[in-house]
Amino acid sequence: MKKRKFSFQPYPFIMLLAALITGILLQDNLQSISLSTWLAGLITSAVISILLHLLSSKYAIQSFFGNALLILSFVFLGGIICYLQNDSNITSWYGKYLNRRQALKIQLDETPIEKPKTLLLKTSVKAISINNKWIAAEGKLWVYVYKKNNNKQFNNGQTFIIPNELVEIKSSGNPFAFDQSKYANRNGLYHQCFLSNEKILLLDSNNSKSSLISNLRTSLKNVISKNIEDTTTKALILAMVVNDRTQLEPELVNAYSLTGTTHIIAISGMHVILLASIILFIIGKIPLRHVKNSRYLWAMVLVWIYIAITGFPPSAVRAAVMFSLYAIGNSLKRDSQQVNTWAASGFILLCYNPYWIYDVGFQLSFLAVLSILLFTKSIVEWWQPKNHILDVLWKTIAIGISVQILVFPLVIYYFNQFPLMGFIANIPAGLFSTILMIGTIILITINSLGLSAIWIGKLLTYLTKAFHSFLFILSELSPESFRMLYIDAVDYWITMAIIICFCTFLYFRKSMQLFAGLAFSILLVINFIRKDWIAFHQEKIIVYNTTNESNVSIIKGHDIFHIYPYNEKTYKYAIKPAILGFRVKETKPENDSGNIFYINNKKILLLGSGDIQQQQTFPVDVLVVSNNCTFEPETWFETFHPKLIIIDGSLPRWKAMKWKETLTHAGAKTRWVQDSGACVYPGL
């Protein structure tokens, strides 16, 4: 077979995108780099690059350095964009006055979101009070208002004054758990506050006029709620049409996740392409030539209106940008390389918001599209059925296979599972999603004509129930072992290197790529063996950072057992990540030793309400206390002489703060998990 050659020349945006991402990652991880340094680097590299390109030379090395400096200038550009996007680098950011402000003036930016016990107000800071003077400030702030005894009506555009009771958003510190603090910071959120009704002073009761998009979004929600009675179907369509996922049931979301069909309940590129196809089909039927000729531009405008209604989710914006580039190219009669268009859309989006590089939906969407562009054609060639129906079916399956090639390592990395049933579920899921969207468009159209569309809603309900029955059956068939997978960042990049090496070998047929793929495979196996060896010898106690409950686990080798009962939410967000990360399985303790445990020859005591006896000395290394204990610091010191006291998450905030202050004053080394994060002893 003839060996193929590859050149980046038809794909200039790939190199520019890679350079931009490099700059973003450098700035985000090396916060000490100043804006002036980035600007100096950009100007210097750009000027030298331009000069080298303008000066004629017969030497290839001059062109090489000119191109290298041009790419380097985009690295500096990425750093500058990331620096400017970070609110904490803004001079007027309210966080710079953290210790001096007395009150804050805030404005409600969105319709309040109802939580079980609170109302979430997404606000922006307008001013801060320092020494009884108001100073202009800016930044995002989330305010949670307790619903109990709340008699205020909150509307978009209102202005309030709130007291300085802000709490920094912190990571839970639970081992291998999702880092909420880092995620919030990358979205411009650094603080939040929890307030009762009487602490909020309404300044401006005149609501600002809602935007056309906001009114359209509200109207669509009202139409859907009016014509669809079934709560599950209504929640699904609200998620698909206006990106409102608040009404989706956790069991349903889990079923979609296990079957690899979450792209239906989250606005994604699939919805954008589907909507664009429907629009192009409808406009194509209009018997006006000038309308037909401009159908791609019309479709582009309507797609962006839809994206605005859904709140600009990154994965959908990616699809809209790609479609827009394609539409503009089509209107200008210009052909373009699809992979270059993919890279160009990524470049544009990261210039707008560099922190989207960390968004899971953005990453999955981009890798899925790239995987389709790279591998679908080759997979389709495996089989070419003559029957038209079989041909369409096989091409659909080929797309499903090609998507998984680059996406499955990321799915395992983020979600700790592999949707094995996705190969079966995605074909009917695609058909279901298409019918549901077309049906919803018909429902909205009929309702806008003043006619009842409830019968359409009932048809969509029957369809949804049938599909969900099928989905739940598939989710039950998903093997348990495929729901408990774990790879860390190193494993992920090694896996991606293996995929790239083997795929390039199959395409270019160069032995170097085959040997590199085998080498990375061996490296991955060695890394897994190393982790298992470490896990086999590990001994740890984990005091989890959970609210209003005690949660403690003991790890011995590959076994983990829990001291207290836990609920489903605690297991999902705190305990399960620890089980996967420490490579252990749940078991029961072999010996009932009460509340005393030995970890690496260190004595650990989980103090209960009746564990202290008078005139008894029982030295321990670590003392774990909970809300069940009677606070007796002097007795604790005299009886246990602890080297470390850990206060678990069961205590109310005021009580834990009081305990910690008293213990610290007495000279005890004290940790409260809700303040310092979960405690793993000995440390990771």
Residue 179, classified by CB atoms within 10 Å of its CB into exposed (0-12), middle (13-18) or buried (19+), is: middle
Q: Are residues 548 and 623 in the same domain?
A: yes
Q: Are residues 511 and 621 in the same domain?
A: no
The predicted pLDDT at position 350 comes to 94
Q: Are residues 639 and 526 in the same domain?
A: no
Last residue of a domain, one of 85, 112, 132: 85
262 falls within a domain: no
In the predicted model, what is the mean pLDDT of residues 615-630? 85
| Model confidence at 6: pLDDT above 60 | no
Tell how strand 113-114 and strand 596-599 pair up.
unpaired
The predicted pLDDT at position 612 comes to 59
The predicted pLDDT at position 140 comes to 92
Total count of domains within the chain: 4
The C-alpha atoms of residue 456 and residue 459 are separated, in whole angstroms, by 5
Count CB atoms within 10 A of the CB of residue 199: 15
Q: Are residues 509 and 569 in the same domain?
A: no
Write out pLDDT tens, residues 526-574: 999 999 999 999 999 999 999 889 999 999 999 999 888 888 889 989 9
In the predicted model, what is the mean pLDDT of residues 337-364? 90
Q: Are residues 496 and 561 in the same domain?
A: no
Band of pLDDT at residue 361, cut at 50, 70 and 90: confident
| Model confidence at 590: pLDDT above 60 | no
| Model confidence at 645: pLDDT above 90 | yes
506 falls within a domain: yes
117 falls within a domain: yes
Write the DSSP string, 217-233: HHHHHHHHHHH---HHH
Q: Are residues 623 and 511 in the same domain?
A: no
The predicted pLDDT at position 1 comes to 47
- Cβ atoms of 674 and 545 within 8 Å: the answer is yes
Q: Are residues 600 and 659 in the same domain?
A: yes
Last residue of a domain, one of 55, 85, 115: 85
Write out pLDDT tens, residues 403-437: 889 999 999 999 998 888 877 888 888 888 889 98
Enclosing domain of residue 528? 489-536
Write out pLDDT tens, residues 280-337: 888 887 777 777 777 888 888 888 988 888 888 887 888 888 888 888 877 766 666 7
Q: Are residues 548 and 677 in the same domain?
A: yes
Query: What amino acid occupies position 270?
Result: M
529 falls within a domain: yes
The C-alpha atoms of residue 121 and residue 123 are separated, in whole angstroms, by 6
Band of pLDDT at residue 614, cut at 50, 70 and 90: low
**pTM, entire model:** 0.85
Q: Half-sphere exposure (CA, 13 Å, Cβ side) for 209? A: 2
522 falls within a domain: yes
Phi and psi at 623, nearest 5°, equal -115, 120
> H helices within 1-155, ranges in order?
12-29, 35-54, 60-85
190 falls within a domain: yes
Band of pLDDT at residue 3, cut at 50, 70 and 90: low
Band of pLDDT at residue 76, cut at 50, 70 and 90: very high
The arrangement of strands across the sheet holding 539-543 comes to 585-586, 559-562, 552-556, 539-543, 679-681
Q: Are residues 131 and 105 in the same domain?
A: yes
- Name the least confident of 302-311, 386-395, 605-614: 605-614
In the predicted model, what is the mean pLDDT of residues 589-599? 72
Q: Are residues 123 and 200 in the same domain?
A: yes
Q: Give me the residues paired with residue 50 across strands.
A: none
Query: What amino acid occupies position 583?
Result: R
The arrangement of strands across the sheet holding 602-606 comes to 596-599, 602-606, 622-625, 644-647, 670-672
Q: Are residues 543 and 522 in the same domain?
A: no
Write out pLDDT tens, residues 28-52: 988 888 899 999 999 999 998 888 8
Q: Are residues 648 and 552 in the same domain?
A: yes
- Average pLDDT over the chain, rounded to an integer: 86
Residue 373, classified by CB atoms within 10 Å of its CB into exposed (0-12), middle (13-18) or buried (19+), is: middle
- Cβ atoms of 140 and 87 within 8 Å: the answer is yes
| Model confidence at 7: pLDDT above 80 | no
Last residue of a domain, one of 189, 204, 219: 204
Give the percent of the chain with pLDDT over 90: 32
Phi and psi at 359, nearest 5°, equal -75, 125
The predicted pLDDT at position 215 comes to 80
The C-alpha atoms of residue 279 and residue 637 are separated, in whole angstroms, by 74
The pair of three-digit structure tokens given for residue 238, joined into one six-digit string: 């609200």
Handedness of CA 496, 501, 503, 504 (dihedral sign): positive
**CATH code at position 109:** 2.40.50
Tell how strand 679-681 and strand 670-672 pair up.
unpaired
| Model confidence at 492: pLDDT above 90 | yes
635 falls within a domain: yes
The predicted pLDDT at position 36 comes to 92
511 falls within a domain: yes
